[in-house]
Amino acid sequence: MKPKILILGATGVLGIKLIKYLRSQNLKVHTAVCYQNFSLLNKLSIKYKIHRTFSFSKIKDNLYLESIIKKINFDIIYCLDSNLTSFPLIIKSLNFQKNCIFAIANKDLLIAGGRILVDEILASNNLICPLDSEHFSLIDLFTLNKNDIKKIYITASGGPFYFKKKSFDRVSKDEVLNHPKWKMGTDISIDSSNFMNKIFEIFELSNIYNISLKKIDFMISQDAYVHSVIVYKDGRYSFNIFKNDMLIPLVKPLEHFGYFKKFNTKLDLENYKSFRLGFRKADKRFKIFKKINSIKKFSHCDQINFLILNKKAHSLYISNKLKYNNIIDYVFKKLKKLNKNYKFRNLNDIVKYVNNVQNKI
């Protein structure tokens, strides 16, 4: 059976990688959506014979896309976009999509939606396949007895600064955005440089697998082959290791339809240095390290506020209105002034709250 596939964020790095792979396996994308790079999407559509294309930046496209969601039951919805543009569409899709796999790489979606979103997806016989390598490496948590787990560590590569002794008062934007291992977008590059991305990934992990924030932390794996470690109460440790190729999680949903990985996933297991792990060092440059214990007490409301404020800090930094070394301070100072106890009844409540906070800050 060839699955009907919807891709949100089709013109990003992951979207293009997935489209190319699907074509190599003689699989077509039914519907592809971008934010505003419609010229690139049009080129992809012609080259890879995509059935329908839309742009979130066009009002008519949004209305037509909603009608498509109502009429067509997709087998896989890939959420490869960033920010919360697609959030209202995902909410509406839950009224119509049944037995669908939601393959999600969008951390904003998982943090804002929280456990409410995860429960809503699963309530209609849908499945979730997390695509971030750390969360994907823990996919067996859907079936494991979580009461047996003492601790979970996800890993960080260290970004551009962890292994360099340079003052953050003197770093340039080029240095901040130049990740030593991967070419990424502006927001994720900034978050990787100061470890904010690990905080967001801890929130995601907690929401996806219903694990207490207090049980989750992160370690350093410079080569990024070890993606997570599970510590069991009986003394066992489980190391989740795989090649850092995002095609591995991207292709996973296709297994439900009889399509299996057809590319090189082999690791050199004799090269033990590649799998070396380390606990993070006490480094005063990374201000987030001192905040981790308080962060593990965050409510759902706190997590949303934290996400929105961090994006605001990014925009201020990029426009030279905030110094790089003051990003963390800015977020925590503003966080104190926002509601932390709002109780969300449903997903639409969350959308309203997000809009309200975005307009307020």
pLDDT in tens, the chain (361 residues): 899 999 999 999 999 999 999 999 999 999 999 999 999 999 999 999 999 999 999 888 888 999 999 999 999 999 999 999 999 999 999 999 999 999 999 999 999 999 999 999 999 889 999 999 999 999 999 999 999 999 999 999 999 999 998 899 989 999 999 988 878 889 999 999 999 999 999 999 999 999 999 999 999 999 999 999 999 999 999 999 999 999 999 999 999 999 988 899 999 888 778 889 999 999 999 999 999 999 999 999 999 999 999 999 999 999 999 999 999 999 999 999 998 889 999 999 999 999 999 999 8
Give pairs for 54-62: CB < 8 Å, separation 24+.
56/85, 56/86, 62/89
Asked if residues 226 and 158 have their Cβ atoms less than 8 Å apart, the reply is no
Rg, C-alpha atoms of the chain: 20
Q: How far is CA 322 from the centre of its chain?
A: 25
Q: How far apart are the C-alpha atoms of 94 and 123, rounded to whole Å?
A: 9
Sheet holding 52-55, edge to edge: 52-55, 31-34, 5-8, 76-79, 101-104, 127-130
Write down the pLDDT at residue 183. Answer: 80
CA-wise closest residue to 97 among 119, 118, 123, 79: 123
Kindly report, as residue ranges, where domains of CATH 3.40.50.720 are found in the chain: 5-131+250-256
136 CB-contact burial (10 Å; exposed 0-12 / middle 13-18 / buried 19+): buried
Tokens (6 digits) for 327: 């990003």
Q: Please enumerate, as own/partner, the contacts of 40-46 that have beta carbons within 8 Å and a separation of 24 or more.
A: 40/11, 41/10, 41/11, 44/10, 44/11, 44/16, 44/19
* Angle of CA points 117, 9, 198, to nearest 5°: 60
With both helix axes pointing from N to C terminus, report the angle between 300-318 and 347-360 in degrees, rounded to the nearest 10: 40
SS3 state of residue 240: strand
Task: Compute the half-sphere exposure of residue 352: CA atoms within 13 Å on the CB side of its CA.
Answer: 8
Q: How far apart are the C-alpha atoms of 6 and 89, rounded to whole Å?
A: 12
Count of positions (residues) in the chain:
361
347 in Cβ contact with 115 (< 8 Å)? no
Query: Topology of 5-131+250-256 in CATH?
Result: Rossmann fold (3.40.50)
The CA distance from 66 to 1, in Å, is 25
CA atoms within 13 A on the CB side of 320: 1
pLDDT at 182: 78
The residue written with tokens 């904003």 in the block is 108
Per-residue confidence (pLDDT) for residue 268, from 0 to 100? 86
CA distances from 353 to 142, 232, 265, 295, 342 (A): 29, 38, 42, 20, 9
Is residue 121 within 8 Å of residue 94, measured between CB atoms? yes
